[in-house]
Amino acid sequence: MTSYMSNNLHLWLIPLLPFAGFLINGLLGRRLPKALVTTVALLAPLAAFAVVLNAGWALWSGQLQVPYVETCPVGWINAGALHIGFSFVLDQLSLVMLLVVTGVGFLIHIYSVGYMGDEEGYARYFSYLNLFLFFMTVLVLAGNALLMFVGWEGVGLASYLLIGFYFQKNSAANAGKKAFIVNRVGDFGFLIGMFLLLANFGTLTFSEIATKLGQDPGWQGGVVTVIALCLLLGATGKSAQLPLYIWLPDAMEGPTPVSALIHAATMVTAGIYMIARNHVLFDHSPFALGTVAVIGTATALFAATIALVQTDIKRVLAYSTISQLGYMFLGCGVAAYSAAIFHLMTHAFFKALLFLAAGAVIHAIGGEQDLRKMGGLWKKLPVTFAVTTVGVLAIAGFPPFAGFFSKDAILYAAFALGGSGRIFWFVGLVTALLTSFYMFRLWYLTFLGKPRSEAAHHHHSTPWSMAVPLVILALLSICGGWIGIGPFSAFLTPSIGPRTAEAGSAQLEHILTGAAVLVAFLGWFIADRLYRQKPESPAQLAAALPSTYNLVANKYYVDEFYGAAVVKPLLAGSKYLLGWVVDTAILGGAAWLLAGIANLAGAILQRWQSGNLRSYAAWLAAGAAAVLLFVVVSWPTVLASLSAIHFGVAGH
Amino acid sequence: MNSLFMQEVPLSWYLLLSAALFCLGVVGFLIKRNLITVFMSIELMLNAVNLSFVTFAHEWHQVRGQIFVFFVMMVAAAEAAVGLAIIIAVFRARATLAVDRIDLMKL
């Protein structure tokens, strides 16, 4: 094979093809026939996926110097010593991410054709989806933090547009705003982190930062910790971690395929990707790394407990996503970046699958999302039932499904760290138990038992465009983990360093794996007891512990707390201090005062302009007389100056 | 008697005459209503100034003042031509020459 002689992979096509799709469907979509809209919308990600595959093959076959950098000849920012260009980097890390983004993205595009078929704004929907892919691939390919930030903000925009897709619905519009504003808080951290990088390293290029950090072992803690924590704040915003996770559950207002693509499989993993991309910074700051682990672990447990009692099928999955992202953070926090990316990949498969399956259920029973009104759907939706089962088994961590391998890798890495890692491992294990429980709860409530509402009785069929992606994702959810963490992390080593924490023995690994499988079965068992054998017992349990149940069912009142602690003071400050005092009183008063002065002066001066020639002449004469008077009164000084000029010269 | 006529007229007399003529011109300009009288008052003021020019030129034996007078006369002639033309045009348009009624310069 000598076809890679030129070694030009045309990475720029990966973002720009979806962008072209966005432009075509966004500008002309309303006038184009629906078939053409569909073709454009599907071709764009497919072509991008093909370019990624081509690049992946070049990388895999070893014909490529990694990292492969593609730089636009025209720079972006050239100011003094600062040069920032449009550079795209392909290495193992970005390749994995690109495969997930474009691959899963393409499948979800196909699914959307069936799911959104009868919706208003079909072209608008696909133009947004393509726009998302454009920004997401920019984010992944970016060779410097600023370009990554462009993608970062862009996916936030696409997310906002898609959450608020049904913008006539007030709750959807509000959810979009909430996601956007909460993300701003995180972006603030990202920005500050970038400024600090510029101030201390003079560059934003990832590879140059890594080189500079590597050259000087003195970079430890201090400013590196601050930078890493700032970046972490950005990551908690985008990846919905404590304390900024609150936007993700509300983001479920968007169409279900959007929840699958953006709010489960790809965009929300951008924070983990960013941490892995900047792993050198985190490696130089044990404190920041520890913070990542604590946030991840806390979020995983916290969100899992909320997911236990949610009744909206999509919200269960949303909290599950937050919890699984917490696992990935935990993986990053114990410096097992490859395990985190591994879980990112498998999670993209099975969580996209679960969301799409939930979408198929919702679609089939006419828009009902309440678990309490489902039940007994396995007979009517056999394909959906089968793939959901696969997804549930995968997320609960049953071997040999994908989630088992990746979750196990993270838990093992945490345990092998020793010390606080044992605590992380234990909490992770408890979370795994909860995960297994709430997923089987969802499974039982949706598909088994008796139909609990009219909607659950009659249903629409699932079109092939929705079924095919489900089946492919189900296969990926089964096989996605078979590569194993060992080869996977070996593949990623050039990008994010070798797999650490190899202290444990094979025996320990087996024991930990056994424990993980055990809790998965335990979770299933409890769910089986509660929701199959004694369907009345959950209500009894809730009645027995009313305060606990209310606390969890109300999501620990975090939204209420933020509302009272942040939103209300902010609104009050805006209204009273900024609105009334600053805007109305100071700014408005100043403007009013100036206008009043001008008006008054105008009213007085206006009288001079009578149009009467003789009055003008009188003023002129009076003026001349005044000048004359002035000259006469101060005559000596005028004479002196005049003589200096005139007589001094002409006198001779 | 002869010596009385041969005596030079003092400078101040000329200047007083000039000032008196100028003030007459100003007052005429201000109080007269007829546009042509106003116009004549302007001519009076110009000539008053001319007189002081000539006086000083003679006093200091310099020719500049004389030259200025020629300029002023020339400009005054041109102004008379244009001004009279305007006056005729105004009269044709408004059938009056009362200054108070020609107040188009008001906003």
Per-residue pLDDT at A646: 56
Q: Which SS3 state, helix, strand or coil, does residue A81 take?
A: coil
pLDDT-derived band of residue B3, with 50, 70 and 90 as boundaries?
low
Of B26, B102, B107, the CB nearest to A613: B102
Count of residues for chain B?
107
Binary contact (B30, A612; C-beta < 8 A): no
Selected residue of B22, B27, B30 to mutate for chain A interface (largest A Cβ count, 10 A):
B30
pLDDT-derived band of residue B105, with 50, 70 and 90 as boundaries?
low
pLDDT-derived band of residue A4, with 50, 70 and 90 as boundaries?
very low
The answer to whether B8 faces chain A, any CB pair under 8 Å, is: no
State which residue of chain B sits closest to A607, comparing Cα positions.
B106
| A612 vs B34: which has the higher pLDDT | B34
The answer to whether B4 faces chain A, any CB pair under 8 Å, is: no
Query: How far apart are alpha carbons A301 and A283 in whole angstroms?
Result: 25
Of A606, A611, A617, the CB nearest to B30: A617
Selected residue of B15, B23, B27, B29 to mutate for chain A interface (largest A Cβ count, 10 A):
B29
Task: Sketch the domain layout of chain B as residue ranges.
Answer: 10-101
Contacts of A606 in chain B (CB under 8 A): 107
In this structure, of A59-68, A468-477, B68-77, the range with the lowest mean pLDDT score is A59-68
What does the pLDDT average to over B87-105?
83
What does the pLDDT average to over B22-45?
91
Return the residue matching tokens 């498969």: A349
Of A56, A418, A106, whose CA–CA distance to A266 is shortest?
A106
List the structure tokens of A20: 């072209």
CA distance readout (Å), A609 to A147, A616, A627, B2, B84: 62, 8, 22, 58, 25
Distance from CA of B73 to the nearest CA of A (A): 22
Distance from CA of A646 to the nearest CA of B (A): 14
pLDDT at A97 over 90: yes
Binary contact (A610, B103; C-beta < 8 A): yes
What does the pLDDT average to over A374-394?
88
Binary contact (A617, B106; C-beta < 8 A): no
pLDDT at A458 over 70: no
Sequential DSSP letters for B55-84: HHHHHHT-SHHHHHHHHHHHHHHHHHHHHH
Of A119, A120, A155, A117, whose CA–CA distance to A135 is shortest?
A155
Of A169, A320, A167, A163, whose CA–CA distance to A253 is shortest?
A163
Of A362, A429, A358, whose CA–CA distance to A387 is shortest?
A358
Per-residue pLDDT at A3: 41
The answer to whether A611 faces chain B, any CB pair under 8 Å, is: yes
Contacts of A613 in chain B (CB under 8 A): 38, 99, 102-103, 105
Per-residue pLDDT at A539: 81
State which residue of chain A sits closest to B28, comparing Cα positions.
A614
In this structure, of A41-55, A205-219, A625-639, the range with the lowest mean pLDDT score is A625-639
The answer to whether A610 faces chain B, any CB pair under 8 Å, is: yes
The answer to whether A614 faces chain B, any CB pair under 8 Å, is: yes
> What percentage of chain A has pLDDT greater than the value 90?
45
Distance between terminal CA atoms of chain B?
A: 63
Residue A84, beta-bridge partner list:
A77
Distance from CA of B63 to the nearest CA of A (A): 14
Alpha helices of B1-107 — where are they, by DSSP H? 2-6, 11-31, 35-60, 64-94
pLDDT-derived band of residue A242, with 50, 70 and 90 as boundaries?
confident
Q: Percent helix, strand and coil across chain A, each rounded to 5? A: 75, 5, 20
Cβ-contact A394, A350 below 8 angstroms: yes
List the structure tokens of A484: 């194993």
Contacts of B60 in chain A (CB under 8 A): none
List the structure tokens of A239: 């990846």
Of A242, A220, A358, whose CA–CA distance to A289 is shortest?
A220
Per-residue pLDDT at A497: 76
Q: Which SS3 state, helix, strand or coil, does residue A77 take?
A: strand
Binary contact (B107, A611; C-beta < 8 A): yes
Query: How far apart are alpha carbons A256 and A357 in whole angstroms?
Result: 9
Neighbours of A419 (CB within 10 A): 7
Selected residue of A605, A608, A609, A613 to mutate for chain B interface (largest B Cβ count, 10 A):
A613
Contacts of A602 in chain B (CB under 8 A): none
Of B30, B102, B106, the CB nearest to A621: B30
Q: What is the ipTM metric for this complex?
A: 0.77
Per-residue pLDDT at A652: 42
The per-residue pLDDT for range A621-648, each reduced to its tens digit, is 899 888 988 877 776 776 676 666 655 4
In this structure, of A119-133, A259-273, A635-649, B43-57, the range with the lowest mean pLDDT score is A635-649
Whether domain B10-101 has CATH 1.10.287.3510: yes
Angle at the Cα of A465 from the Cα atoms of A372 and A342, rounded to 5 degrees: 75
The answer to whether B99 faces chain A, any CB pair under 8 Å, is: yes
Binary contact (A614, B30; C-beta < 8 A): yes
Q: Which SS3 state, helix, strand or coil, does residue A218 take?
A: coil
What does the pLDDT average to over A45-71?
88
The answer to whether A652 faces chain B, any CB pair under 8 Å, is: no
State which residue of chain A sits closest to B105, comparing Cα positions.
A611
The answer to whether A602 faces chain B, any CB pair under 8 Å, is: no
Query: How far apart are alpha carbons B82 and B42 in whole angstroms?
Result: 14
The per-residue pLDDT for range A475-493, each reduced to its tens digit, is 999 988 888 888 888 888 8
What does the pLDDT average to over A596-612?
86
B 39-78 → A contacts, CB under 8 A: none
Of A304, A268, A250, A263, whose CA–CA distance to A439 is shortest?
A304
pLDDT at A336 over 80: yes
State which residue of chain B sits closest to A617, comparing Cα positions.
B30
In this structure, of A79-88, A343-352, B48-57, B70-79, the range with the lowest mean pLDDT score is A79-88
What does the pLDDT average to over A430-443?
93
Neighbours of B63 (CB within 10 A): 8
Instruction: Provide the phi-psi class of A367: left if phi over 0, else alpha when psi is between -120 and 50, else beta.
Output: left
Sequential DSSP letters for A221-273: STHHHHHHHHHHHHHHHHTT-TTSTTHHHHGGGS-HHHHHIIIIISGGGHHHH
The per-residue pLDDT for range A265-308, each reduced to its tens digit, is 889 999 999 999 999 888 888 899 999 999 999 999 999 999 98
Per-residue pLDDT at A148: 94
pLDDT at A350 over 50: yes
State which residue of chain A sits closest to B104, comparing Cα positions.
A611
Distance from CA of B18 to the nearest CA of A (A): 16
State which residue of chain A sits closest to B99, comparing Cα positions.
A613
Cβ-contact A276, A93 below 8 angstroms: yes
A 615-644 → B contacts, CB under 8 A: 616-618, 621
pLDDT at A430 over 50: yes
Cβ-contact A254, A178 below 8 angstroms: no
Contacts of A612 in chain B (CB under 8 A): 99-100, 103, 106
Of B99, B106, B107, the CB nearest to A614: B99
Contacts of A647 in chain B (CB under 8 A): none
Distance from CA of A606 to the nearest CA of B (A): 9
Share the mean pLDDT of chain A. Answer: 87
Distance from CA of B38 to the nearest CA of A (A): 10
| A19 vs A83: which has the higher pLDDT | A19
The answer to whether B30 faces chain A, any CB pair under 8 Å, is: yes
Contacts of A605 in chain B (CB under 8 A): none
Asked whether the CA dihedral A396, A400, A403, A408 is positive or negative, the reply is positive
State which residue of chain B sits closest to A610, comparing Cα positions.
B106
